[in-house]
Structure 1
Amino acid sequence: MLAPEQEPLSSSKPIKYGELIVLGYNGSLPNGDRGRRRSRFALFKRPKANGVKPSTVHSTCSPQTAKAISNKNQHSVSYTLSRAQTVVVEYAHDSTTDMFQIGRSTESPIDFVVMDTVPGCHGRGDTLSSQSTISRFACRIVCQRAPPYTARIYAAGFDSSKSIFLGEKAAKWWCADSQMDGLTTNGILVMRPRHGFTCESKPGSWREISVCGNVFTLRETRSAQKPGKLVENECHELVDGTFLDLCGATLLWRSAEGLSRTPTPKHLELLRRELNAARPQCPVGLHTLAFPSLERSSSPEQQPWAYLSCGHVHGQHCWRGSAEEDGSRSGEELGLEPGERECPLCRSRGLYVPLKLGRESALYLDAAPPTHALNPCGHVCSERTAAFWSRLLLPHGAHGFSPACPFCMRPLARHRRSVRLIFQGPLD
């Protein structure tokens, strides 16, 4: 059962297991949230359990026999060892769990359709990419239907024929319990921050999750055939603040309990109004600045801008920059780099960008006022929220890790990843 961000109204409130937030969209997809294609997904207890669990293992199947087994009206995972041998693990119904599947495919078994994230919240929108590195059936989350409603993550999802196929080149192996296990092509990475998703949170180590839910260190490269080392003292349980990376999009898991302690969109709107009520002024144009509401866009004159080298907030103006039209010296004559400006208050030099409020409330670590801007995108959030995301290394596709803004996924600056904003109060 797919549910939107807002829970349906009913006499008995449905049980929510948690929510998945896709990083980089700041609360909404470019072309709007529709159906199974959304920036934020809620997992509710299903009317009827649809979970499955491993049962019979067929270890000496020929490819023909494996095909016959997989055609049965039940779930199965096929591991191709060679052209002559395939191991098939049949899965039986599990009345104690609910299963939710995530992937790029728009086929019906996928509950949450996730496309590659374009940094900056712009671009392809709902278009499918032929070059996508996200698997069509990327992973599945299995939630216990009874308290404490534990959620667990597994690599790979079942397709329309209720099958998972790991080809001959996929990493696979026999486990000590006589079960077969393996990894998907680009893998499903998970990171559980230390101390949960709180003001004390610190980034943890990135791990890879197998088809059976075992935890491994990262492979040498994202698609290497040799798996990392088994991490026996870690499990695949999703705790509040767990990150899931699908190699092209990164998701944040927020538990229902964690969300109850998170600032709501209404609270963020209240903070926005309080910020505007202070009537911040542009020191150059001497006019009042204002952050727009979600429904309105601000006029160019009211749009707050900031110098990211010092944090001084202004309106848009042409003071000492390459775009100035007042006949004064150009940015080149001042020795400024392309895109740099000189702050008229303190003469520091750096990027000069428009400020935008971070609107996805689930990405905040606290309910403090928005006082800091991330560099270089200019998204504004609380101090502790900015500090956490500045320290966190997120997967950059299949090409390594780097800190990025959670609201737009633009990579953060190598030095000074966030800056405290300095507002000029009204002269009266």
Structure 2
Amino acid sequence: MSDEEKVKGPVKYGELIVLGCNGSLPGGDMARRKSRVCLCRRTKANGVKAGTVHATYTDQAAMAVSSKEQHSISYATSRAHTVVVEYTCDSSADMFQIGRSTENTIDFVVTDTVPPEGEAGQSTISRFACRITCQRSPPHTTHVYAAAFDSSRNIFLGEKAAKWWTQDGQMDGLTTNGVLVMHPGQDFGQGCRPGTWREVSVCGNMFTLRQTRSAQQRGNAVKEESNVLVDGSLIDLCGATLLWRTADGLSHTPTVKHLEALRQELNAGRPQCPVGFNTLAFPSLRRKDILDDKQPWVYLRCGHVHGYHAWGGRQNPQAVAQGQERECPMCRTRGSYVPLWLGCEAAFYVDAGTPSHAFVPCGHVCSEKTASYWRRVLLPHGTYPFQAACPFCFQPLGGDSGIVRLIFQSPLD
């Protein structure tokens, strides 16, 4: 270990953050199941790379599949024929695996993201969804591949899975519901824009999307794009979407401490309810889901911020929070009236600007540039059509633009 590593600790490649988790999972983070995971250089490399291809199922191929010390990928082309690709050790890379399975081979256990008021159905996330490799040497290039190895170190693509021979004599394929990737149009920051969704194969090749999520016919090859993850890349597992942030990107992103400072700065301005004239205050980040007496509320059509009041609606704030339409006392515009919540997951921010905009209809608050970016990102929702959503709760956006500028009332004194 170098002197630099002894001082700075483990080499950090980056972090994966689950969209729809505002700082932690609804039931709390635990072990390998959490809202975000940090990928660091392993003590010993565990990367693998493609080796011998067995076009017929020979005794050697059978040994590779049955061996718990050997990684392999099996492609069933028919009931009677399977192509086996042996994988050998790659000491230059670290491999991290993601999926719904709780087997020890999975480093990051991911379950389906259910938006507010949504119902959890049968999971569409693969038990062994994808794998990520990070080069151990700078610049620590990171790749994503569809499918992960199981506890027997095997990946098996069934007869109905899309598969094909490549020009260089390798076998490649797609998983049932696929792994989609979107790289931002430029660096993830104030001027970033959404890219185009692609599907990544088991071997890391990029394709246009299939006609349907599980269609057997693959899309067209996209030669000019790669499976190299960049700061702000999105990985969709058909039920959960992950944001990749590089270590360098995170160093330029506001921290939770910075968000807390912005919250205190907002509260120090003593915003006032124009009806009750009481001072409003955003609750602490630790109480991000608990309605407070001083909680700011907003009329989503016009953006006027109030304290909770019973003007033109029900007395019960919990009932009103469900989105019942109300008339704004300031401008008479009718629309949903909801509490405001600060977006607490710092990795979703593209800048360190003042929280000034809220997503519609959930009421999560962040900077203008962050809100503007995410409202333009069309996200997969399982097997359903793509739709923009709040990154903090994954609720689909509504209204005219999906966001609203907040109008605070300053104290009269």
Instruction: Establish whether TM, by shorter chain, passes 0.5.
Output: yes
Cα 1:134/1:13, change in 2 over 3 Å? same
Please state whether the residue corresponding to 1:57 is helix, strand or coil.
strand
Post-superposition Cα deviations, 1:125-179, rounded to whole Å, max 9, x if no partner, equal xxxx6x1100000000000000100000000000000000000000000000000
Tell me how far 1:339 sits from its aligned partner: 1.7
Contact 1:189 1:208 in 2 (8 A): yes
Is 1:116 matched with 2:74?
no
Aligned match for 1:313, one of 305, 324, 335: 305
For residues 394 and 291 of structure 2, the distance between their equivalents in structure 1, rounded to whole angstroms, comes to 26
Please state whether the residue corresponding to 1:276 is helix, strand or coil.
helix
Aligned partner of 1:151 in structure 2 is 142
Q: Kindly report which structure 2 residues correspond to 1:29-48, keeping only aligned pairs within 5 A, or say none.
A: 29-48=25-44
Post-superposition Cα deviations, 1:374-424, rounded to whole Å, max 9, x if no partner, equal 000000000000001111100011111000000000000052311110111
Please state whether the residue corresponding to 1:152 is helix, strand or coil.
strand
Q: Kindly report which structure 2 residues correspond to 1:213-228, keeping only aligned pairs within 5 A, or say none.
A: 213-228=204-219
Aligned partner of 1:52 in structure 2 is 48
Tell me how far 1:195 sits from its aligned partner: 1.1
Please state whether the residue corresponding to 2:248 is helix, strand or coil.
helix
Is 1:245 matched with 2:240?
no
Cα 1:22/1:121, change in 2 over 3 Å? farther
Tell me how far 1:196 sits from its aligned partner: 2.1
Please state whether the residue corresponding to 1:302 is helix, strand or coil.
coil
Is 1:345 matched with 2:330?
yes
Tell me how far 1:121 sits from its aligned partner: 9.2
Cα 1:362/1:122, change in 2 over 3 Å? farther
Is 1:354 matched with 2:356?
no
Aligned match for 1:139, one of 125, 130, 141: 130
Aligned match for 2:66, one of 40, 64, 71: 71
> What letter corresponds to residue 48 of structure 1 in structure 2?
K
Gaps of 5+ in 1: 1-8, 326-330, 332-337
Cα 1:299/1:175, change in 2 over 3 Å? closer
For residues 243 and 421 of structure 1, the distance between their equivalents in structure 2, rounded to whole angstroms, comes to 28
Aligned partner of 2:396 in structure 1 is 411
Is 1:402 matched with 2:393?
no
Cα 1:229/1:41, change in 2 over 3 Å? same
Aligned match for 1:384, one of 362, 369, 372: 369
Contact 1:29 1:121 in 2 (8 A): no
Aligned partner of 1:80 in structure 2 is 76
Contact 1:137 1:156 in 2 (8 A): yes
Tell me how far 1:219 sits from its aligned partner: 0.2
Post-superposition Cα deviations, 1:17-56, rounded to whole Å, max 9, x if no partner, equal 0000000010101121111001011000000000000000
For residues 287 and 391 of structure 2, the distance between their equivalents in structure 1, rounded to whole angstroms, comes to 22
Is 1:180 matched with 2:171?
yes
For residues 292 and 244 of structure 2, the distance between their equivalents in structure 1, rounded to whole angstroms, comes to 36
> What letter corresponds to residue 197 of structure 2 in structure 1?
W
> What letter corresponds to residue 193 of structure 1 in structure 2?
P
Tell me how far 1:299 sits from its aligned partner: 6.2
Cα 1:109/1:324, change in 2 over 3 Å? closer
Aligned-residue RMSD, C-alpha: 1.9
Cα 1:115/1:10, change in 2 over 3 Å? farther
Please state whether the residue corresponding to 1:400 is helix, strand or coil.
strand
Please state whether the residue corresponding to 1:244 is helix, strand or coil.
strand
> What letter corresponds to residue 179 of structure 2 in structure 1?
I
Q: Kindly report which structure 2 residues correspond to 1:250-329, keeping only aligned pairs within 5 A, or say none.
A: 250-296=241-287, 300-321=292-313, 323=314
Contact 1:24 1:120 in 2 (8 A): no
Greater shift after overlay, 275-284 or 299-308? 299-308
Is 1:210 matched with 2:201?
yes
Contact 1:117 1:249 in 2 (8 A): yes
Tell me how far 1:295 sits from its aligned partner: 3.1
Post-superposition Cα deviations, 1:101-135, rounded to whole Å, max 9, x if no partner, equal 000000000000000001139887xxxx6x11000
Please state whether the residue corresponding to 2:164 is helix, strand or coil.
strand
Contact 1:300 1:316 in 2 (8 A): no
Cα 1:414/1:395, change in 2 over 3 Å? farther
Aligned length: 402
Aligned partner of 2:103 in structure 1 is 107
Post-superposition Cα deviations, 1:224-269, rounded to whole Å, max 9, x if no partner, equal 0000000011110000000000000000000011001100100000
Tell me how far 1:296 sits from its aligned partner: 4.2
> What letter corresponds to residue 411 of structure 2 in structure 1?
P
Is 1:373 matched with 2:358?
yes
Provide TM-score, normalisation by structure 2.
0.94
